[in-house]
Each structure stands twice: as structure tokens, then as C-alpha cells.
Chain A
Amino acid sequence: MALEHADVQRAAHLARLGLTDDEAARYVDDLGRILEMVDMLQALDTEGVAPLAHPLDVTQRLRADEVTESDQRSRFQRCAPAVENGLYLVPRVVE
């Protein structure tokens, strides 16, 4: 499956990665070759093979419904780029 410039731009937008045109052009090339390598998978017949999401056949353990965490806001917000009145600040979101 050939990769187009638009595919890279679309992926970059979905992933919120700013790319210059030069970078995008380079990634079209890189990603194209990676996908070419990946396309080798298509040669393999996997009809009827169940996808494997986890290497072990184990199931989800459930946690008891208990409050175990206490307020650590000031500690957690020490590494935040912009906070005010305990809120994380971002450029105005328009709805």
C-alpha cells in the first residue's frame, strides 16, 4: 500500500505533530519504506487465526472499589507548565 504525502500530513495532524514540508517529504520516504517492509505480512495466510493482543492468556484482575488516593495536587502540579487556582491552563478552547 503506497504512502502519499497526504497520508503523512493526515497522520501528523491526527497525532498533533507539527511537520514542516521538508520533514513531511522525508517522512513520506521513510514511512514508505517501513510500510513496504511491513507489507510482507500480506503474503502470509492468516485466515482463521485469532489476533493476539497479549502474549499471555490471562484475564483482567478486578480492583475492590476503595478510595486509596489522597490529594497530591500541589505535588503533581509542580511539573505542570501552566496552572492557576489549581487548574491546568491551555489556550482558550472554543466550543
Chain B
Amino acid sequence: MHDKTLAELKRSLDAGEFSSRELTQHLLGRIDRLDGALNSFITVTYDQALAAAEAADAARAAGKAGALTGLPLALKDIFCTRDVRTTAGSRMLDNFIAPYDASVVEKLAAAGTVSLGKTNMDEFAMGSSNENSHYGPVKNPWDFAAVPGGSSGGSAAAVAAGLVPAAIGTDTGGSIRQPAAFCGITGLKPTYGRVSRYGMIAYASSLDQAGPMARSAADCALLLNAMAGHDLRDSTCVQRGVPDYTEELDTPLAGLKIGLPREYFGDGLDPQVEAAVRDAIRVFESLGASVREVSLPHTHYAIPAYYVIAPAEASSNLSRFDGVRFGHRCANPADLIDLYKRSRAEGFGDEVKRRILIGTHTLSEGFFDAYYKKAQQVRRLIRQDFLDAFEEVDVLMGPASPTPAFDLGANKDPVSMYLQDIYTIAINLAGIPGMSVPAGFVGQRPVGLQILGSHFTEARLLNVAHQFQQGTDWHRQRPAFAEENA
């Protein structure tokens, strides 16, 4: 049960092979047995999960089952869930029981999905390794010495380890795609504005986007169908129809024009990762696609621009955590300033503080133009690079990360950690959709192929990824950890 895709599970539920309640219980049991070692969940919602599963079984019995009815998933602990603790991986929110549901959570519940709980993450989604969680690092199920990636590391690890067939993540600079790559699963960051951000605890508002993480592109399509769409509560969520993302999955790829950004195959790229990615691209050629090199000339400015824009927005977004209305409050504050300074010093971890400080500094008087305004200008140039490239090709392909999953504790220096996101971060600045799909291994550790499209071309990306998965079985590989403990 635990290694099936959503599509396969749906067929089993429809055929009556097992009920959603049985499936849910089975997975909750696995979480109990395995997650102590993996640490992919912060909160497991046993009672709510079983109640939702029973409701789904009843709906199915009444002939009212939809595409996702009764299918389990997990939510990154950045989505507010009514009456369920929502921590964002931070001590600041250790005691925060959200009083409302995020829009995505509402939509997925309305589609009949069964949430098993809230997954571990880098604190406030700031990180690329899941080592910045107040709840401890998550292990990579393929190799416990490796990180699962971040910030949606718990979601990726839980799916890879067979604890849940799918999970929802968020991606601000690669936080869905990079952990998907590191854990050998399929992840999609939709176009900015495709999925509502309401109820998703903000890191960097102009970059954050929620998306599905699953065992196949087809599963991602099913989930995106339920997640996408306009939301009156999010001004940045676009008013635009939602296609059926499963409809184009089977479109043949003959004639597809693939661009390989020269800058994504340069210095710093692990040769074995490059080899796996180039092998994957040959699969596409065999499916009738043509490949050419393109250039994204401002690629190397993406990380500097990101580390101005994201921390600036974060420094402001995180001001609401002040110990007054919710969240951590220090003991016996002497006065108001003490309340603020100590509550925030105690509630936030190191990386969060670092980014708040950077953002505060770059926005402050005398620095704004040199940093923030400059970064926004560069952001336009970066977006233009992509728009230009998509004049020539349908999709771009390259590695999701320059290396496979690195070792826990390997990147102590913040700047070297930031540089890991070189291939993912520009995508958020440009607001375009991107996927990572499993494309091989370096040793035990998975390699992710990144596929990028122009704004609102999710259906095309899912089609391209699905066709690749029809011809390969990288996405069907499971870590020994998941099997040994079956």
C-alpha cells in the first residue's frame, strides 16, 4: 500500500481492495514505526486523519468519490490548519494552534483528501537542508548521512520513505524542487499566483508558492487540479481558469523544443549529476524532442538578487511575531522593548535571525536604492532572460541542484549553503513554473532533472515529465529504508 502512487491507490480504493480508513491506519502505523528515525513529521493528526478517512469511505460508498477522495497526504507545517498546531518549524510557533485553515488546506479537504499531519521544514522555510528546524533535522531516507533538502524536507522525505503518497510543499527559492530532487520524488512549483497563499505562513511574499510533491507527475497533476485556482482572499492569486492538468499528460512529445541553459551546465556542477541529466535529455530526444543550447545571461545575479529581496520581505513579514497576540513570549518582560527583543531572540533560530538582520539592513535608510531597488531591477532582467528563452524553446531543462544531497552538517557557512540554490532560485524571481523529476542516482543519492516552462504552462510541464516517466523508472525506485521496514 505504501509505495503506490495516488492514481494507483485510487484504483485500489475504487476496486474495494482496501478502504481509506485501512490505508490511513496502515500509513499512520508506518509513521509510528519509522518516523522516529526520519523525523519528517512535526505533528501527526491521528484522530482527524481517521475521521476524514471514514468520511471519505462514506462518500465513496454513496457514489460521491472524486479524483482524490480518501487519498492520504501530508502538509508542510507552514500551512495553517484549524485547531491543529502550526509551527513553521519554529520555536516561535511551538504553541500556536491555528484558528483557521489555509485556502490550500480547505481546497484539499474539500477534494476529500486525508491529511495525516504536518511535515518538518526549515524554520519559516528558510533553508536548503532542513537543518534549520526547531524540531531537528530530517534524514534523507536514501542515506541517513545526507540531508533531505529544504525547506520542504519533511514533505519530500515522508513521500520517499513511503509514509505518505504525496505531500504539499512550498517553494520560495527551490524549496519544493531541491528536496524533491534530493529524495527522488516529483515536485512542482507552480507559476506565482497559480495557488493561493492565504493561510500559508509568509516567508517572502513575492516569491512563495505552494505546490505538490508526489511519486509521479500524474499525481502532481491530480493534486494541482485541487490546489490551483482563484482565491478572493489572496490579491496576488490570479483570476484565471484552471485547466484539467491530467488532460494533456498523454500528449506525445514529438516536436517539443527543449532548451539547455548554458549557465546551468557550468562550473560547480557535479559531473555525475550532469551525466544523469544529459542521459535524461537523451530520453527526450528519443521521444522526438529537439534540444538546443540557450543562454540565461543573468543567472549568476539570481542568488545575490534573491538574498536582497527575500530577506527584505521576510524581515517585514516576520515582524508580526512579537509575543503580543500569538506565539512565543518571553518570561517576565521588564518593559515593551524587552518583551519584543527577548521574545524574538528566543523564538527565532539562527538562520531566521540572519535573514531578518540582512533584510532590515538592506531596507534601511541609505541602503535601499543600492540593494533593494537594484535587486528589483536585476529581477526584471532575470525574468526577461526566461521570456526571451521561451521565445525559442518550449521548456528548459537542467539539473535541479549542482550536487546530489549533501551530508548533514556539510554546509556550515551560510553563503556556501545559499549557493546550492543556483539552479532553482531564478525561477522564483521570474515567477515561472518548475518541476524536479527523478533522473538517476549518484551512488545512493538521487538526482533531479529540472524542467522549466513559461508562466502558466504547468500542463505542458506535467505532460513532459509524465512522458519521461512513461519511458523511465527512476521515479519508481524506493529507498531501502522504506522497503526494509515494510
Contacts and interface: CB of A to CB of B under 8 A. Distances in A.
A56 B238 contact: yes
Main secondary structure of the interface of B (DSSP, over half): helix
A45 to B, nearest CB: 10
Contacts of B337: 16
B251 to A, nearest CB: 26
A80 B373 CA distance: 37
Given A18-B344, A27-B354, A41-B301, A90 B324 contact: yes
Given A10-B364, A31-B361, A55-B430, A50 B99 contact: no
A55 B235 CA distance: 13
B378 interface: yes
A interface residue count range (under 10 / 10 to 19 / 20 to 34 / 35 or more):
35 or more
Nearest to A61: B235
Given A11-B364, A38-B307, A55-B430, A44 B378 contact: yes
Contact of A56 (B192, B307, B375): B192
A61 B236 CA distance: 9
B341 A16 contact: yes
A3 B338 contact: no
Contacts of B376: 51-53
Interface in B13-53: none
Kindly name the residue among A18, A38, A42, A61 whose own CB sees the greatest number of chain B CB atoms within 10 A.
A38
Interface string B315-327: 1000100111111
A70 interface: no
A19 B380 contact: no
A85 interface: no
B342 interface: yes
A81 interface: yes
B330 to A, nearest CB: 9
A67 interface: no
B356 interface: yes
Interface in A74-90: 75-76, 78-82, 88, 90
A57 B239 CA distance: 13
Contacts of A18: 341-342, 344-345
B347 to A, nearest CB: 10
B291 interface: no
Nearest to A17: B344
Interface of A: 1, 3, 7-8, 10-12, 14-19, 27, 30-31, 33-35, 37-42, 44, 46, 49-56, 58, 60-61, 63, 72, 75-76, 78-82, 88, 90-93
